[in-house]
Amino acid sequence: MPELPEVETIRRSLLPHVIGARVTAVTVRERRLRRPIAANLEARLRGRRFVALERRGKYLLFGLDDRRALLVHLGMSGSLELAPLGRAFAAHDHVAITLDRARVLVFNDPRRFGLLRLGRTADFTELDNVGRDPLTAAPTPDEWRTLVRGRRLPIKNLVMDQRVLGGVGNIYANEMLFRAGIRPRRRAAGLHRPELERLSTAMRHVLEEAVDLGGSSISDYRDANGRPGFFQMRHAVYDRAGEPCRVCAAPIKRIVLSGRSSFYCPRCQR
């Protein structure tokens, strides 16, 4: 479910509740996620204090006071909620981390594509595949020229490649290409300098605006305090097939690229 703006919103909403909090209890109700939750997670987490909370692409990294960290990925359908103490479990509540502040951090994930892992940050090999942060360290147009060189894949697929940019998923790839006026199917290597310049600024603007609005709530995304995001009201193309373009009124098209729905305006995007 969540892409960079949603994960960043969750991180910010968790921050004041989690930093400095101590874990008093850990309950794992379902270990079978994408990879099973390790058997020692409860013992390693109990009694620890959270000292940091960072985002790496779509991953959340909870720093602990023993130089280890809890790595969390929300997959397609994962969520984190700060629930009141003693609230009954709901369907797909897989992990509950009780804090010493009368709050429980609950990991819920219907599709179980998420990930929870405890260990040393350096051992989290999945983080090796997270590229630059498009919010804080976006490639310059010059760097884009290097990144697209020789790449024959559609630009949308390149932008969604987590090794290139950490955190861009299907919604925001579509939205930033609309904003840049580039069709998603265009070969990456075929983009001209002005297009790379537009892409580079469109990317920052779309993501910054989305973070400001708390991300996109399409069906049930909520931040850790249960608040929805509002960027879905600003979607120009995502999930708008057949609807009129907000700029030129042409009907939005839907195509499939690498199995993912891709949307664009045939007039605004070339």
36 annotated active-site: no
3 annotated active-site: yes
253 annotated active-site: no
- How long, in residues, is the chain? 270
260 annotated active-site: yes
Least gap, CB of 182 to DNA (angstroms): 16
Q: How far apart, in whole angstroms, are the C-alpha atoms of residue 21 and residue 178?
A: 42
Catalytic annotation, pick one of 58, 103, 156, 179: 58
| C-beta separation of 70 from 117 below 8 A | yes
63 lies in the site for DNA, by CB under 7 A: no
Least gap, CB of 215 to DNA (angstroms): 6
One residue of 63, 134, 154, 184 binding DNA per CB under 7 A = 154
CA angle 229, 134, 21 (to 5 degrees): 60
| C-beta separation of 176 from 183 below 8 A | no
145 lies in the site for DNA, by CB under 7 A: no
Q: What is 181-238 written as a DSSP string?
A: T--TTSBGGG--HHHHHHHHHHHHHHHHHHHHTT---SSS---TTSPPP-GGGG-SST
Query: Among 13-21, 64-72, 200-208, 212-220, which window interacts with DNA (CB under 7 A)?
Result: 212-220
- For 101, the token pair is 């502040």
The binding site for DNA (CB under 7 A) comprises 1-3, 6, 32, 34, 57-58, 73, 75-77, 91-92, 110-113, 126, 129, 150-154, 157, 160, 162, 169-171, 188, 215-221, 229, 232, 239, 258-261
